[in-house]
Amino acid sequence: MRRTPRDTEATAKSVTRRALFMGGCMAAMVAALGGRMRYLGIEQADEFKLLAEENRINIRLIPPARGLIQDRNGKLIAGNEQNYRVVITREDAGDVEAVLNRLSHIIPITAEDMAETLKDVERNSPFVPVTVADRLNWDDFSKIAVNGPALPGVTPEVGLSRSYPRAEDFAHIVGYVGPVSEKDLEGLENPDPLLRIPRFQIGKIGAEKWLEDNLRGHAGTKRIEVNAVGRVMRELDRVDGIPGADIRLTINADVQNFVQARLGDESAACVVMDVTNGDLIAIVSSPSFNPNLFVRGISQADYSLLTEHDHRPLANKTVQGAYPPGSTFKMVTALAALEAGVIDLDTKVRCPGYLESGSRKFHCWKKGGHGTVGLARSLAESCDVFYYDIAQKVGIDKIAEMGRKLGLGVRHELPMSAITEGNMPDKAWKLERHKAEWRIGDTINASIGQGYVLASPLQLAVMAARVATGKMVKPRLVRSVDGKEVPVPEPESLGLDASLLRAVQGGMFDVMNGAQGTARSARIADEAMLMAGKTGTAQVRNISTAERDSGVVSNDNLPWKQRDHALFVGFAPADAPRYAVAVVVEHGGGGSTVAAPIGRDAILRALSDGIPALTAYPADQRGRIETMLKSLKLRLPDGTNPESSKA
């Protein structure tokens, strides 16, 4: 059947409309696809590039080099040494335990170390590297590198580890570092990301802890490329961190070394302080310990030796120890009475060997008594009865006020651990602490540094410095941070009458140089360095009436822990004070025979360019002193300064 022209025209129009519709739809689809491709390929290019790179690129923190700690002259005290270690990353390793088992056939890994590593791996994010072992030797380090393809996620690294080249001599000042613990993180709202790195080390005690923010520095970053199984292929780029600040202490390493050797095996403490600005020149606690043992992981056997030692080597006796100051406290009682006006420079007291108060008898150390004594002689010969008498007149509150003015019963802020406040008691303190009234016997005991009075060697050194200068000298340990000097404010005056202060200083001069001075045998012979001081002997046991009647047992015949503490404080040169010193020898016996010679040697070393000259000692002692000094030289460092790296 033939189509009519009209039918053909209608069909053509219908086809054209469908074609146009289909073409429009196709064009719209192409436009939409093109737009989407443009969006994905151009506008979202950076995001998809990042997603793609995350599949092959890891970003890791680079721990910064820890700041160095040096003495006042730049000698190294705490530094960094090269350390070969191996780390494992969970997201790259897959079966961590299986990889560790393979690794244990290459380097020695104990079951305890493996368990600790697995615990660290589970505790941290999958991408955080966990240290498996450090301080590897070169052979073990090389074996790991060679066997790398069989150890996915395992990376040998070269880093820095803390080291203490002078070991025992600065352990109590500097302290040591150790891995971050959960306790370290407590209370930190936004902890430094570095602290999340497993086994990252921070300061645990001493200056390492209290100057942590300065010493730690800021982390760097590195981008590394890994293959499909997580093996590191190459480092793409690195941004180095900012090293920690270098710290210079006020300590003179040579003086510190000398004093540490001089204390020997005694359970003792010695503080040498510059009276002009408060710089601590030496602050020594004996016996000491090797802080490197803690950095490297101390064994239980070594730790037990330290904790079970009766001389307590882990305790910093210079700031933690609180001791009855004994007769070194007598300057406090004297100044309190003089300032209050209850005595003057001409006051005399008769000492028959005891003082009776109520039903009690308080004895002088000299059984037969000293006769009639004034201020200067009471200090020179350490008459107890003089201070029993004047203390009752001035009262404990005035004595306590003077004690605090001279630095006792006050916590001196230093970057050191567990600094004691000591105890400078008064009536209110006893009522609050013991719920009891203060008694006259308490005042009598306190007048000679016994009873409730307690002071640290640091506080005693501050007291000596303030008596020497009449100024409120404050101790300091940090000399500079990152090359910037820490400013030292001019010490304020204590407000004490200069003539009264000179009278007390004169009595201390007679202690060392007077014919009957208790420390005359420990005097300095060099006229340019003459010393003023005060000895002290603090009882640690009660002496019964029966024992006094039959004769007090000498310290030499008592068990070590029942012997008296020996103390000494002093300053030199007496006419122009530069250094103050305080010494406490636990259970050492007499202050004049044990503590005073140590104080003299320490202050002589501070005043000298090197080992003190024999001419500084009394002529009749030089043979013995020469032998002692030769022995000390064998225990001192050779003067070399081990190199250390911050790179």
Task: Tell me the angle at which helices 330-340 and 396-405 cross, rounded to the nearest 10 degrees.
Answer: 110
Tell me if residue 596 falls in helix, strand or coil.
Answer: helix
Q: What's the CA gap between 207 and 204, in Å, rounded?
A: 9
Relative to beta strand 247-249, strand 478-481 is antiparallel
206 close to 175: Cβ distance less than 8 angstroms: yes
164 close to 78: Cβ distance less than 8 angstroms: yes
Is 327 marked active-site?
yes
Q: Which two tokens stand for residue 132?
A: 């498996």
Q: What's the CA gap between 531 and 539, in Å, rounded?
A: 26
Q: What's the CA gap between 39 and 266, in Å, rounded?
A: 80
Which residues sit opposite 160 in a β-bridge? 82
Residue of 267, 285, 286, 327 marked catalytic:
327
Q: What's the CA gap between 452 and 431, in Å, rounded?
A: 13
Q: What's the CA gap between 39 and 53, in Å, rounded?
A: 20
313 close to 289: Cβ distance less than 8 angstroms: yes
Relative to beta strand 371-373, strand 349-351 is antiparallel
463 close to 404: Cβ distance less than 8 angstroms: no
Q: Which residues of 152-176 are buried (b: 16+ CB within 10 A; e: fewer)?
A: bbbbbeeebbbbbbbebbbbbbbbb
Q: What's the CA gap between 245 and 70, in Å, rounded?
A: 11
Q: Which residues are catalytic?
A: 327
